[in-house]
Structure 1
Amino acid sequence: MGALRWVRLMVLPRVLWGSVPLFFLLLPAAESICPEPCDCQQHQHLLCTNRGLRSVPKAAEPQDVLTYSLGGNFIANISAFDFHRLAGLQRLDLQYNRIRSLHPKAFERLDRLEELYLGNNLLPALAPGTLSALAKLRILYVNANEIVRLSAASFSGLSSLVKLRLDGNELGSLSDSTFSGLPNLLYLHLESNRIRWLSRGAFNGLAKLRFLDLSGNQQSSIRHPDIFGPLRSLHTLLLASNSLQQLTGGLFQHLPGLAKLSLSGNRLAHLAPDAFTGLGSLKELRLEGNLLSHLPAALLEPLSSLEALDLSRNALTALHPATFGRLGRLRELSLRDNALTTLPGELFASSPALYRLELEGNAWSCDCRLSGLKHWLGAWHSQGRLLTVFVQCRLPPALAGKYLDYLQDAQLLPPQDGGSCHHGASPSAASPPPSVEGLDSNSSGAGLPRGPPGPPPSASTARLLGAPESAAAPPRAAVEAASPTPPLPGRPAASGRAPPSAAWPRRAGNPRSAPAAGVPPLVSDPCDFNKLFLCNLSVEAVGSTSVTVRWAVRPHRSPRLLGPARFRLLFDRFGAAVKFQRFVYLPERGEPAATLRELRPDTPYLVCVEGILGGRVCPVAPRDHCAGLVTLPEGGAAAAGGSRGPDQQLLTLVLLAVNALLLFAALAAWASRLLRKKVLGRRRRKAAPVHVRQLYSTRRPLRSMGTGVSNDFSGFQSHRPPRGAACALSEADLIEFPCERFMDSGGGGGGRHGDDHLLQRFAD
């Protein structure tokens, strides 16, 4: 019966047994399973958050409780009996309390528990065996406590654990096989501790681990080159904000699947040439905030898949021309806030996918050694393949504060220190560099034509646009829309727009050159892509927490795109003050559709789609690329009546129908009453007594009474024919009588005596 308890029947006095029926009355009394200061939801979720509790309250009927939230209280101890009746508990939240001790048997009966949150407490340790009964536990938060050391026994029995947070503790070291009992662990957070030493076998048993965060610790070096050897599946490794001064060669050689490596905020002054050996799948490398003054020429050669490289806030003074020679997929490069004064013009020639380059914050010397870089920037800007790059001159004093792309070649004089101009312009630097062998210009994101005719778009781009590869060029409007416009000196260009063109200065009599005949124009502005190609945004399969969004790419004449086009969805609650706090990026070459999940039921949303071209998006989505929707009530359309009450529309229709029936019944009753009145009126008129005047009308022929009739009223009813003449009476008389009764007779039988006799009869 759940929370229903049966009330026992009290014994009645003997005097009442004769008058009380002989049967037992079982009266159910509802007793809430909620402790007094807590709230309950569907008798399965106990919410006791921020109630000022100093101990764990007791639930009356805890068999069906799935979630127990006790966060934000003042609980200091967890005893062995606080949760011993909650055998079906799946989620337990004890965060933000003052817990200092956990009884070793506190969780021994919670064999169904899947999530345990113990973060932001005062736990000094995890006693061995405390968590051993939690065989189904998948998420464990023990962050922001005071744990000093861990052992393998601390996590014994947690074979199903997927995510473990130990950040924000006082850990100073990790011993061998600390996590060996966690074979299914995927995410491990160890940041913001005091770890200075890692044992060689600290990560043994973590063959499936994908995310490891060791940032914010105090490691000065990693001594053992095989320390990350067991992490064959690692995808992300964060070693930022430590005190690392050097990296052992081949330290990451056993991480073939690593995609992101962060070494920022350390004290690295030198990197071995083989420091990144084995990282062929690495896509993002962060080295900002170190003390690097130079990079070995072969340092980045193993990183053939690298897409983003951050070298900002170092002490780099120069770069070898072949530093980025093997980075054919490099898209983002930051060299800002270094000590660079010049760069060779061919430094970026082997990176055809590069579109974001940050060079500001350096002490640039604008002399002839930068002419090669200036020509390369102008050529790539003219094709819309590069965002605005700010190279502000510091030397010579005559050019201080000016930007390199607005200077003329004649202004780039030889260096004042007597150096040569060997980094000057060259034929290869002045013209756009060819694509790297084996990489298609469109698939790599460059969109660079190979020679004057220009290649047709790649098959993937043709499929994306829905047009054949041999389609003709789009209208001139698309070409003009894609043409970049230089900004004012000293003012950065708007993000998301086409960068300025240094190769096309605005001069009188020197118009921009038109594209060569037969070469499809290059569409580089994502706003133009949205305007020309995106269409038919629609929402389908709207549910209570999810919705499917579809759109189409207009089959247009095939232009050349600045790399493969991607899409992102922006969605937020309709009417939000700050729009589009949430967005989803979709993979390249994916189907133009996506399913948004984890929405709120019965809530209006606004969904927009934007195209991403060359890594840039249009700042504001056009109105015709947005759609509104309202999610269904919780449980969907079919179960809306069961989980959130009856359907409001159906209830309204039922009420209207009932009102119509009542109105019809009232009208029928009124009509029936009116008809009944009419029928009864007719019957009453038929059955009512007729007036004497109508019975004896003066208009009827008079009946005479003969002379020989008796002296009673029977004579007036005679049907014999009249014998005498009738006397005329007025119509006011009620009864007609023969006139001979009132006349003086000439015979002996008349006279006064006869009159008195008649008067006497009527007087009676």
Structure 2
Amino acid sequence: MRTFYILFALIAYSFKVQSTTLCDSDFCVCRHNNKSDRDLAGEFVVCSYDPSVLNRIFGLPETVYSLDLSRNNLTTVRNSGLLQSNTLTELYLNCNQIREIKENALQLPKLKRLDLSDNELEVIHEDAFKYIKKLEYINLANNRLTSFEKISFHHLGNLNEIILNNNDLGASLEDNNLFDRSGYGLTHKIQSLSISGINLNVVHENFFVDAFDLKKLVISNNNLVDVFEIPFTLEYLDLSDNPITQISGEDFDDLLALKDLKLNNLLIKQIPDYAFASLHALKNLEIERNRNLTEFSPMAFGQEILEDADDFALENLSLKGSRLKTLDQKLEVPFGQLIRLDLQGNFWNCDCNLVWIKKLQIQKEDYEHLRCFTPKPLYNSRIFDLNERYFSCPANTRNVGTIIAVISFCVLLTSIALWIFLFLPKYQSRCNFVNNIPVPTAGYTVLPVHAPIQNR
């Protein structure tokens, strides 16, 4: 009988342990989401800083929504009770040292968001995502991926956002199409793609031909020297940190839906006429840290908005950290419509051609470093602290002085001429005075003929 009670106690204890969830442990933090949104209902579980977390015998709450296993120094994702759930929607495995994801390790049929960034993945098994077919978002940034030859996205039919930043994938993409079913197989449902810092040298002509619904593209921090054929469906485009030397209106001709454009830290020297004239939906434009940029054409947004800015959609413009010295006053009308304008950190020449900027409604936090670079007496002065009388044009002053000098010289010559004809002594004929002026001798002599003088 005693043996029976002991066995019963062990079974009961075992059942209790198996039924205990992570929320009953002392190494995880759980909180319940009380929002009315049904998709967000459930437990948010955070189990970071525990390298043995996948070996724990605790189970997941029945209504778990989000599980955070980041920063656990995990090297392998393998089968575990913590990775089996019919309700889990978000899984964070970022900031570990993961080198391998075992086949069938992720048995999460409701999973929509997966973060594997900041790991050491070189290869992903083709069946690693076999049981997460509802996945919509995946972050693979900051791994060691060099090719997609052993990665298949074909069966991720609901995937609409993928982040591949800072993987050395550039060489493998120069002759392949991410969206081609015979290639790497991203579906045409992809709406957001981030391939920043992948050592991409060129974007071939048909790279985005199958990206039918792409709305956001981040292709910054690569080695692109030219603007490529941009998908016309884009609403957000980031071309920053590329050695692009020039842009033109033709580059953005068909981007009728584009709302956000970032052109930071390029090698462009000017913003030419009509560069953004076709971007009628553009609301946010960043042109920051362009250290070769010295010219911004007043016609950059077209001619019409200079006279009537009612249809000017742009709300936020940043030109900070470049080498601009002045801006044409013709831009006063469109710039006056902006909600936010940042002109800080340029080499502004504070003369009469720039004083109009003080009329703009620039927010206080955006003019602390809006300062003069020249002329020397105004160096480092805050433009909005200066009185308008200091915005003079020395060049115009020199021109006026030149004109005055020329007029004075002409008056002097006129005065000398009048003196000669009015105040020459009467006994000397003015005509004789003129005749006595030395004349250069010629190569032959002409005998003068004088009329006889009659005696009176």
Task: Tell me the TM-score normalised to structure 2 length.
Answer: 0.63
Equivalent residue of 2:296, what SS?
Answer: coil
What is the DSSP-based 3-state SS (H/G/I as helix, E as strand, rest coil) of the residue aligned with 2:55?
coil
Question: Aligned letter for 2:88?
Answer: Q
Go from structure 1 to structure 2 and tell me whether the alpha carbon gap of 1:203 and 1:344 turns closer, same or farther (over 3 Å shift).
Answer: farther
Partner of 2:388: 407
SS of the equivalent of 1:285 reads strand
Query: Is the contact made by 1:90 and 1:115 (CA closer than 8 Å) also made in structure 2?
Result: no
Change (3 A) 1:348 1:218: farther
Q: Are positions 1:239 and 2:239 aligned together?
A: no
Q: Which of 261, 286, 289 is 1:313 aligned to? A: 289
Structure 1 residue aligned with 2:155: 157
Alignment correspondent of 1:542 = none
1:288 aligns with 2:257: no
Out of 214, 222, 226, the residue aligned to residue 195 of structure 2 is 214
Matched, 1:29 2:12: yes
Deviations along 1:121-160, whole A, 9 cap, x unmatched?
Answer: 4332112223223333444444443333214852343223
Equivalences for residues 229-628 of structure 1 within 5 A? 229-248=209-228, 251-252=229-230, 254-256=231-233, 258-314=234-290, 315-325=292-302, 328-367=312-351, 370=353, 373-374=354-355, 376-377=356-357, 380-381=359-360, 385-387=361-363, 392-397=371-376, 400=379, 403=383, 406-408=387-389, 411-414=392-395
Distance 1:45 1:408, change over 3 A: closer
Find the aligned partners of 2:129 and 2:123 in 1 and give their Cα distance. Answer: 12
Q: What SS does the corresponding residue of 1:408 show, helix, strand or coil?
A: helix
Q: Is the alpha carbon distance of 1:157 and 1:313 closer, same or farther for their aligned partners in structure 2, counting shifts above 3 Å?
A: closer
3-state secondary structure, aligned to 1:32: helix
In 1, the alpha carbon distance for the partners of 2:77 and 2:376 equals 71
* Counterpart-to-counterpart distance in 2, 1:312 and 1:119: 28
Question: CA-to-partner distance for each residue in 1:562-619, whole Å, 9 max, x for gaps?
Answer: xxxxxxxxxxxxxxxxxxxxxxxxxxxxxxxxxxxxxxxxxxxxxxxxxxxxxxxxxx
Q: Which has the higher helix share?
A: 2
After superposition, the Cα gap between the structure-2 partners of 1:89 and 1:119, relative to the gap in structure 1 and judged at 3 Å, is farther
Structure 1 residues 27 and 414: CA distance shift in structure 2, 3 A: closer
Query: Displacement, 1:354?
Result: 2.6
Number of equivalent positions: 365
Displacement of 1:95 in angstroms is: 4.4
- Determine helix, strand or coil for the equivalent of 1:275: helix
Residue among 207, 224, 227 paired with 1:227: 207
Once the two structures are TM-superposed, the CA of residue 294 in structure 1 deviates from its matched residue by 1.6
Distance of aligned partners of 1:367 and 1:202 in 2 relative to their CA distance in 1, 3 Å threshold: farther
Change (3 A) 1:351 1:140: closer
Letter in 2 for 1:269: T
What are the superposed Cα offsets for residues 698-730 of structure 1, whole Å, 9 maximum, x if unpaired?
A: xxxxxxxxxxxxxxxxxxxxxxxxxxxxxxxxx
Paired residue type of 1:135: K
CA contact (8 A) 1:285 1:306 kept: yes
Structure 1 residue 265: deviation in Å?
2.2
Residue type matched to 1:122 in 2? E
Answer yes or no: is the 8 Å Cα contact 1:46–1:65 preserved in 2: no
Give the drift of 1:78.
4.6
Map of 2:37 onto structure 1: none
Query: Distance in 1 between the 2:377 and 2:10 partners?
Result: 99
Residues 337-379 of structure 1: CA distance to partner in whole angstroms, max 9, x if unpaired? Answer: 43333333213334551354444444444445x1xx43x446x
**Stretch deviating more after TM superposition (290-299 or 309-318):** 309-318
Identify if the C-alpha distance between structure 1 residues 345 and 307 changes in structure 2 by more than 3 Å, giving closer, same or farther.
same
User: CA 1:124–1:330 in 2, change beyond 3 Å: closer, same or farther?
Assistant: closer
Q: Distance in 1 between matches of 2:334 and 2:93?
A: 55
Q: Judge conservation of contact 1:203–1:228 (CA < 8 Å) in 2.
A: no
RMSD: 4.5
Q: Which amino acid aligns with 2:202?
A: S
Shift of the 113–8 alpha-carbon distance from structure 1 to 2, 3 Å rule, reads farther
Change (3 A) 1:149 1:33: farther
**Any idea what SS the aligned residue of 2:152 has?**
helix
**1 CA distance for matches of 2:116 and 2:240?**
30
User: In structure 2, what residue type is equivalent to 1:412?
Assistant: C
Counterparts in 2 of 1:418 and 1:318: CA distance versus 1, 3 Å = farther
RCO higher in 1 or 2 (8 Å CA, sep ≥ 6)? 2
Task: State how far apart, in whole Å, the 2-side matches of 1:280 and 1:56 are.
Answer: 53
Distance in 2 of aligned mates of 1:171 and 1:261: 20
Q: Is the 8 A contact 2:293 2:323 kept in 1?
A: yes
Instruction: Sort the Cα spacing of 1:398 and 1:243 in 2 relative to 1 into closer, same or farther, 3 A.
Output: same
TM-superposed CA distance for 1:274, in Å, is 0.6
Instruction: Tell me if the contact between 1:261 and 1:284 (Cα under 8 Å) persists in the aligned partners.
Output: yes
Any gaps of 5 or more consecutive residues in structure 1?
Answer: 1-6, 12-24, 182-200, 420-764
Q: Is the 8 A contact 2:169 2:200 kept in 1?
A: no
Contact in 1 for aligned 2:294/2:323 (Cα 8 Å): yes
Question: CA 1:137/1:9 → structure 2, altered by over 3 Å: closer, same or farther?
Answer: farther
> Helix, strand or coil for the counterpart of 2:294?
coil
Instruction: Measure, in 1, the Cα distance between the counterparts of 2:237 and 2:92.
Output: 33
* 2:52 alignment partner in structure 1: 53
Match of 2:129 in 1: 131
Shift of 1:318: 2.9
Asked if 2 retains the 8 angstrom alpha-carbon contact of 1:152 and 1:177, the reply is no
- Percent identity reads 24
Q: Give SS of 2:261's match.
A: strand
Q: Structure 2: give runs of 5+ residues left out of the alignment.
A: 25-29, 33-42, 306-311, 401-456
Q: Distance in 1 between matches of 2:21 and 2:82?
A: 20
Q: Verify the 8 A CA contact 1:65 1:86 in the aligned structure 2.
A: no
Mapped partners of 1:349, 1:112: distance in 2: 52
Q: Is the 8 A contact 1:203 1:227 kept in 2?
A: no
Contact 2:287–2:318 (CA under 8 A) maintained in structure 1: yes
2 CA distance for matches of 1:320 and 1:287?
16
| Alpha-carbon spacing, 1:396–1:233, altered in 2? closer, same or farther (3 Å) | same
Structure 2 residue aligned with 1:17 = none
Pairing 1:103–2:102 present: yes
Structure-2 residue corresponding to 1:546 = none
Equivalent-residue separation in structure 1 for 2:44 and 2:322 (angstroms): 56
Aligned AA (1:319): F
Q: 1:52 to 1:266 in 2, by over 3 A?
A: closer
